[in-house]
Structure 1
Amino acid sequence: MSGVGRLVPLTLLKIHEWSRSSSGLKYIPKWKWLAVCAMGNSSGHNNTLSIPSGKGPHQVGCTDLMVGHKVQGSFFRLYYPCQASDNPQLPDWVPCREYFNGLADFMKMNRTLSEKIFNYLFGSCKIPAAWNASFKPDGKYPVIIFSHGLGAFRTLYSAICVELASQGFIVAAVEHRDESASATFYFREHTESGTKKHVSCEIFKPVSENLEEEWMYYRALKPGEKEFSLRNKQVKQRADECIRALKILFDINSGKSVENVLQSVFDLSTMENSMDLCRIAIMGHSFGGATVIECLCKEVKFKCGVALDAWMLPLDEEIFPSIKQPIFFINSEKFQWIGNIIRMKKLDSAVIPRKMITIKGTVHQSFPDFTFLTGNWIGRLMNLKGEIDPYIALDLSNKATLAFLQQHLALDRNFNQWDPLIDGKDVNLIPGTNITIPQASI
């Protein structure tokens, strides 16, 4: 790891890695003695590791929007082009301790110990977007709905979302309530006097004093439970949640009154008539990649989809023929396996664009923000970093995504300069897949 910081005492930790098999995606523990040196992290001790800012022409703002306080409501982080300002307030990458607890549960770690480690390493990390900044009206922006992976939540892909917003998109990163997020919350009505719990942090204050937080954590498979049964049910709910978020954006764009359950100074009415709702894409990572496919089947308003290292097990293959929109699979080199790629290939079409590239030297966690916030030693030990520079890897993914979106959303931009990336034409890309598929399987 780069840089020098304080030493966290030698501790027995669980280090995890993704297990890939035909039965599904699992996060399994490997016990290791690990002297955790918190060196070169972005939590105030060393500024060399941080989430990259957007490279586009727009400064980026973000806000949280919860519509409907019950579990059936909608919750997402909204990224958007904003007005320039001096010394903007940047939001915490991990909003509060409950999310650290959720990550600990998902990784099967002790909550108390892991909270101290996570808070030390990441507690002061900020997202490079201005919190509740004034929206920048500049014509009509195309829209992207983003779906997170298993055990993640709405803020963990901020590098991707910030970059897309800086390039002139409005991005809604949904936080799923299907028990696949490591943690999320909603509100329940408070009825008993004198027992109301305080909210976990200021940004989660509800507009009504009669509401209190209810936290929902990741649900692991039960003994004997079939993985497909659970994940198939979840992917359908996830798609419904993405479509619900899109409907809310339609309401905002049309000028309808949309009440944010969370107290917020951001004025949603400033976004009226600001979205190009003929140009909408769906995007996601891992389980979110499967959600992309399910969304394309359920909602034709999504004109195309970008699936990052998609995990295909949750999907009914029966839906594949009904999907008519273009799909772009962007895979890591180290994660994919034969069965998963075969399922992607079943979506190939002679008439509908279905593209696939693989980024050399990448791992499954090369897409979430963790890859930027750990030094080389810890990053590789925990499989959060691949052999390639993470900035190069995500830059390739983002540029290829933008070129694909320009083609299939008919955008009048200069993203076509990166068209060769869609076909894997770069020293760090593989056209298609690095996985050898037996001819009999094809």
Structure 2
Amino acid sequence: MLGRTQVAVMGNCSNTLGIPPGKGPHQVGCADLMVDHTVQGSFFRLYYPCEPSPSSEKPCWIPSQEYFDGLADFMKINRSFAERIFNYLYGSYRIPAFWEAPFKSNGKYPLVIFSHGLGAFRTLYSAICAELASRGFVVASVEHRDESGSQENLEKVWMYYRALKPGEEEFSLRNNQVQQRANECIRALKILDEINSGKSVTNVLQSEFDWSSLKNSLDLCKTAVMGHSFGGATVIETLCKELTFKCGVALDTWMVPLKEEIFPNVKQPILFINSEKFQWAGNIIRMRKLDSASIQRKMITIRGTVHQSFPDFTFLTGNWIGKVLKLKGDIDPHLAMDLSNKASLAFLQRHLSLDKDFNQWDPLIDGKDENLIPGTNIHVMSHKAPEHSYTVKRMVLQLL
């Protein structure tokens, strides 16, 4: 049975809409782990290859009603109004994974730590995470506790997204947050390392999942970090801080939170996958400062995409409302996600030395597809980029 926070929220669900399941050979399970209620703890949803389990249910996409309030705060709209709208549009959707299904022990799996974007939370990228798990990865989607998410539950007190205070400098806040986010990704890795080594970890959430079944099932020599937007910046900060991560995949990265001084300390390969409509010259210039003659840094842009082409929202709204809310681009969202996932898988195989067939998609890493642009569609001048020219306010306008 699903826990209290997984109880379905009533809503409207079209038969033609839904989060696509993974396309790989493995069925996908998921479970939540919270270690310690404090900010020193860790909270993530684990996606993993699972055994068939007829009794397992698929959990709700939105874990509880409070997340609607957090999304409303991020978008700066009335909570009561937003709750009704979000509940109607999204309340009944479920993610493409079986809740607490038995872990499939089948050798050792590579690990991906996933970082969500600003105003998001651990379940909003289930299409990406489920696809990776279906291909034989274990994926930990971290819920960040830096007040950049829609909410986070500490000691049963909901921690909502925090906007800038009057007179507060954005870079200072966001840089502190990205450092905390990176530490949280590293903490999730350390906890999974303990579980993999057979140590008992106390889950403060009600759970029937057998975490000990992961013992000796993770290949931590094959670990990557992946994220979207603010999560893309988190990828770069995390790579700088922890060399256990062998490579990173950064989706439509928001570079503003990062100090450029860290760039020379990032030694691992990075794949930047950008949308066509979100990026701007200053941001691309900062990405290009990570270019290296000796370390593979790749960039591709998916034609017809918007910033919200990466989270699950793009699959859960019809064309009209999706275009109005900028949750859909001109490209079919399934095609866009397929290109992004295949390029990511090819890159992960290359740099984690996986014995898979993902190298069939190697051309996508170089932008070789009619729906891809090698590099960027943005015309970049040679002048110095403004340091922090793209604010959260402008990011929110991407949603409104």
TM-score range, shorter chain: over 0.9
**Residues in 1 aligned to 2:39 and 2:294: alpha-carbon distance in whole angstroms:** 40
**Residues in 2 aligned to 1:441 and 1:322: alpha-carbon distance in whole angstroms:** 21
Q: Does 1:111 align with 2:54?
A: no
Task: Give the deviation of 1:71 after TM superposition.
Answer: 2.5
**Residues in 2 aligned to 1:374 and 1:249: alpha-carbon distance in whole angstroms:** 35
**Residues in 2 aligned to 1:128 and 1:331: alpha-carbon distance in whole angstroms:** 25
Number of residue pairs aligned between Structure 1 and Structure 2: 376
Greater helix fraction, Structure 1 or Structure 2 = 2
Aligned to 1:396: 339
Q: Does 1:244 align with 2:207?
A: no
Aligned to 1:314: 257
What do the CA deviations read for 1:364-420 (whole angstroms, capped 9, x no partner)? Answer: 000000000000000000000000000000000000000000000000000000000
Aligned to 1:144: 112
Aligned to 2:7: none
Aligned to 1:89: 57
Q: Which amino acid aligns with 1:304?
A: C
**Residues in 2 aligned to 1:84 and 1:437: alpha-carbon distance in whole angstroms:** 50
**Residues in 1 aligned to 2:89 and 2:326: alpha-carbon distance in whole angstroms:** 16
SS of the residue corresponding to residue 269 of structure 1 reads helix
Aligned to 1:349: 292
Q: Which amino acid aligns with 1:135?
A: F
Aligned to 1:157: 125
Aligned to 1:361: 304
Mapping for residues 4-15 of structure 1, pairs under 5 Å: none
Distance 1:45 1:51, change over 3 A: closer
Task: Give the deviation of 1:106 after TM superposition.
Answer: 1.0
What do the CA deviations read for 1:265-320 (whole angstroms, capped 9, x no partner)? Answer: 00000110000010000000000000000000000000000000000010010010
Aligned to 1:74: 42
Aligned to 2:398: none
What do the CA deviations read for 1:77-124 (whole angstroms, capped 9, x no partner)? Answer: 000000012363000000111001111111111111111111111111
Aligned to 1:410: 353
**Residues in 2 aligned to 1:43 and 1:416: alpha-carbon distance in whole angstroms:** 41
Distance 1:49 1:335, change over 3 A: same
TM-score after normalising by structure 2: 0.93
Aligned to 1:267: 210
**Residues in 2 aligned to 1:84 and 1:416: alpha-carbon distance in whole angstroms:** 28
TM-score after normalising by structure 1: 0.84
**Residues in 1 aligned to 2:11 and 2:223: alpha-carbon distance in whole angstroms:** 35
**Residues in 2 aligned to 1:278 and 1:125: alpha-carbon distance in whole angstroms:** 36
Aligned to 2:238: 295
Match of 2:151 among 173, 178, 183: 183
Q: Does 1:227 align with 2:195?
A: no
Give 5+ residue unaligned stretches, structure 1. Answer: 1-41, 188-212
Q: Which amino acid aligns with 1:151?
A: G
Aligned to 1:423: 366
**Residues in 2 aligned to 1:253 and 1:47: alpha-carbon distance in whole angstroms:** 40
Match of 1:50 among 7, 13, 18: 18
SS of the residue corresponding to residue 279 of structure 1 reads strand
Task: Give the deviation of 1:331 after TM superposition.
Answer: 0.1
Q: Which has the larger radius of gyration?
A: 1
Q: Which amino acid aligns with 1:182?
A: S
Mapping for residues 14-25 of structure 1, pairs under 5 Å: none
Aligned to 1:13: none
Aligned to 2:139: 171
Q: Which amino acid aligns with 1:301?
A: T
Aligned to 2:391: none
Residues 13 and 89 of structure 2 are in contact (CA less than 8 Å); yes or no, is this contact kept in structure 1?
no
SS of the residue corresponding to residue 303 of structure 1 reads strand
Q: Does 1:435 align with 2:381?
A: no
Q: Which amino acid aligns with 1:342?
A: I
Residues 346 and 358 of structure 2 are in contact (CA less than 8 Å); yes or no, is this contact kept in structure 1?
yes
What do the CA deviations read for 1:35-82 (whole angstroms, capped 9, x no partner)? Answer: xxxxxxx95542110000000000000000001122321000000000
RMSD: 1.1
Distance 1:98 1:277, change over 3 A: same
Task: Give the deviation of 1:441 after TM superposition.
Answer: 4.8
**Residues in 1 aligned to 2:55 and 2:329: alpha-carbon distance in whole angstroms:** 34
Match of 2:96 among 116, 121, 128: 128
SS of the residue corresponding to residue 245 of structure 2 reads coil
Match of 1:325 among 255, 258, 268: 268
**Residues in 2 aligned to 1:374 and 1:262: alpha-carbon distance in whole angstroms:** 31
Deviation above 4 Å: which 4+ runs of structure 1? 42-45
SS of the residue corresponding to residue 340 of structure 1 reads helix
SS of the residue corresponding to residue 229 of structure 1 reads helix
Give 5+ residue unaligned stretches, structure 2. Answer: 1-9, 386-400
**Residues in 2 aligned to 1:140 and 1:318: alpha-carbon distance in whole angstroms:** 36
Match of 1:279 among 215, 219, 222: 222
**Residues in 1 aligned to 2:110 and 2:201: alpha-carbon distance in whole angstroms:** 20
**Residues in 2 aligned to 1:224 and 1:93: alpha-carbon distance in whole angstroms:** 36
SS of the residue corresponding to residue 75 of structure 1 reads strand
**Residues in 1 aligned to 2:229 and 2:185: alpha-carbon distance in whole angstroms:** 15
Q: Does 1:61 align with 2:4?
A: no
Q: Which amino acid aligns with 1:221?
A: L
SS of the residue corresponding to residue 117 of structure 2 reads coil
Residues 56 and 100 of structure 2 are in contact (CA less than 8 Å); yes or no, is this contact kept in structure 1?
no
Aligned to 1:27: none
Q: Which amino acid aligns with 2:179?
A: K
SS of the residue corresponding to residue 301 of structure 2 reads strand
Greater strand fraction, Structure 1 or Structure 2 = 1
Residues 13 and 90 of structure 2 are in contact (CA less than 8 Å); yes or no, is this contact kept in structure 1?
no
